[in-house]
Structure 1
Amino acid sequence: MNPCLLCMKPISEIASWQSFFGLEKKKTLCDDCSKRFVRADIKEDGYVLDSVHSLYEYDDAMRDWLHQYKFLQDLALAQVFAKELWQSFSSKDIIVPIPMHPERARLRTFSHVETLLNEAKRPYIQLLKKTTTGVMGEKSKQERLDMENLFELIPSAAVQPITYRLVDDIYTTGTTLRQAAAVLKRAGAARVEAVTLIRSIQK
């Protein structure tokens, strides 16, 4: 039996013909750990950022997962929400991950958003680059709202008058996504939507 990626207890699975032929994706979490995550499915419409869909609430379980994944660099945890992320897109979607600053990427050794998309088997394109090394999670709500010029187009980017779908791990004030959307809109995007794994409401 496979161990749960969070608690490491063995995962009990019921045998089926799909699993016998290798067609059923193996579970990554035990039932107890799976039940800890609360689905939110929050959808909002806006102006610069035309819409955003956040899949899960930011509670204690998600906080623990995010810390272990991003900061303890437990890349295997990207598998946990691969199915849910895969289901959030269609094969026609043009997906643009929110980038890390190159210096931050070097220190962390991996891009957490790109790794999530890779596990979800959803292809993406790079259009943006981060212009600041500031960490959003270390800033207050007002500091986030006051931030400017977080992104710019990469030199080789060719933005078309179509719909792009930004992807980030967590939505708090929306500053990151709105600024990324603004860059794409100025470059000619017709519409910019977003999907985030987590929705955090910062007071």
Structure 2
Amino acid sequence: MMHCYLCSAPLRHQLTWKLLFTSMPEPVVCEKCLRKFERIQDSEQKYEDVIALYHYNEAMHDYLHQFKFGQDVVLAKVFRSDIATYLKNSSATIVPIPMHPLKKKERTFAQVDELLRVASITYTHCLEKMTTQNQATKSKLEREQSEQFFSLKEDCQIEHIDYLLVDDIVTTGTTLKHATTLLMDAGARKVTSFALIQG
């Protein structure tokens, strides 16, 4: 028997026709844990051209800390169905927000890449992170006034098409704004963004 990835309770999900005849993966979290995460309503979206799925509440804080800093990579599967549902039919080129190579080496995996991978979403890396500074340690004003911290990868040609940036969490919108500006200046037709969490 499988157990919930978050609380270790036995999973007793019923086998439905939907699970039998679609490629939807079986849930890895119990209903009790799922209820602790708060979905964002359309009227609660804070940023233009950014769609986020969940609020940053206590349960999400614990999840994100365990996933990113506890290096619990299997937790990427918790929201794979949600991410797949939103992104699978997108006609835009999916571009994950990258980690600096030193940060990636420290954490052992890139969390945004992993969220997309387990959701079976094809993506393209066009950006490189130029700084190791943690945005979470800065004030809102410091983040908004920060200089561009992305560059384009040498082997990535930006075309006049739509791009969709993906990040795990949006707090002030500065990271996505920097990435959007870079892609638009390089020739993108339109850039929108998606985040799992809105802080």
Verify same fold: TM over 0.5: yes
Against the structure 1 CA distance between its residues 191 and 44, is the aligned structure 2 distance closer, same or farther, given a 3 Å change threshold?
A: farther
Measured in 2, the distance between the counterparts of 1:73 and 1:166 equals 23
Q: Deviations over 1:62-101 (max 9, x none)?
A: 0000000000011111001001111112152310000001
Matching residue's letter, 1:114: D
Measured in 2, the distance between the counterparts of 1:23 and 1:126 equals 26
Residue 172 of structure 1 deviates from its aligned partner by: 0.6
Written as runs of structure 1 = structure 2, the 5 A alignment for 1:160-179 is 160-179=159-178
Q: Which aligned runs of 4 or more in structure 1 are off by greater than 3 angstroms?
A: 15-24, 41-46
Matching residue's letter, 1:8: S
Matched, 1:68 2:49: no
Identity of aligned residues (%): 40
Written as runs of structure 1 = structure 2, the 5 A alignment for 1:94-109 is 94-109=93-108
| Secondary structure, counterpart of 1:80 in structure 2 | helix
Verify the 8 A CA contact 2:92 2:161 in the aligned structure 1.
no
| Secondary structure, counterpart of 1:167 in structure 2 | strand
Aligned to 1:32: 32
Aligned to 2:5: 5
Measured in 2, the distance between the counterparts of 1:28 and 1:174 equals 30
State TM-score, norm by structure 1: 0.91
Aligned to 1:199: 198
Measured in 2, the distance between the counterparts of 1:19 and 1:146 equals 48
Against the structure 1 CA distance between its residues 18 and 199, is the aligned structure 2 distance closer, same or farther, given a 3 Å change threshold?
A: closer
State TM-score, norm by structure 2: 0.93
Aligned to 1:52: 50
Measured in 2, the distance between the counterparts of 1:15 and 1:102 equals 42
Q: Deviations over 1:107-136 (max 9, x none)?
A: 111000000000110000010000100011
Measured in 1, the distance between the counterparts of 2:11 and 2:192 equals 36
Measured in 2, the distance between the counterparts of 1:86 and 1:20 equals 18
Measured in 1, the distance between the counterparts of 2:172 and 2:23 equals 40
Residue 21 of structure 1 deviates from its aligned partner by: 7.4
Matching residue's letter, 2:63: W
Aligned to 1:87: 85
Verify the 8 A CA contact 2:39 2:55 in the aligned structure 1.
yes
Gaps spanning 5+ residues in structure 1: where? none
Residue 17 of structure 1 deviates from its aligned partner by: 4.9
For structure 1, which segment, 179-188 or 13-22, has the greater mean C-alpha deviation from structure 2 after superposition?
A: 13-22
Measured in 1, the distance between the counterparts of 2:186 and 2:105 equals 28
Against the structure 1 CA distance between its residues 5 and 45, is the aligned structure 2 distance closer, same or farther, given a 3 Å change threshold?
A: closer
Matching residue's letter, 2:2: N
Measured in 2, the distance between the counterparts of 1:98 and 1:24 equals 26
Against the structure 1 CA distance between its residues 157 and 17, is the aligned structure 2 distance closer, same or farther, given a 3 Å change threshold?
A: closer
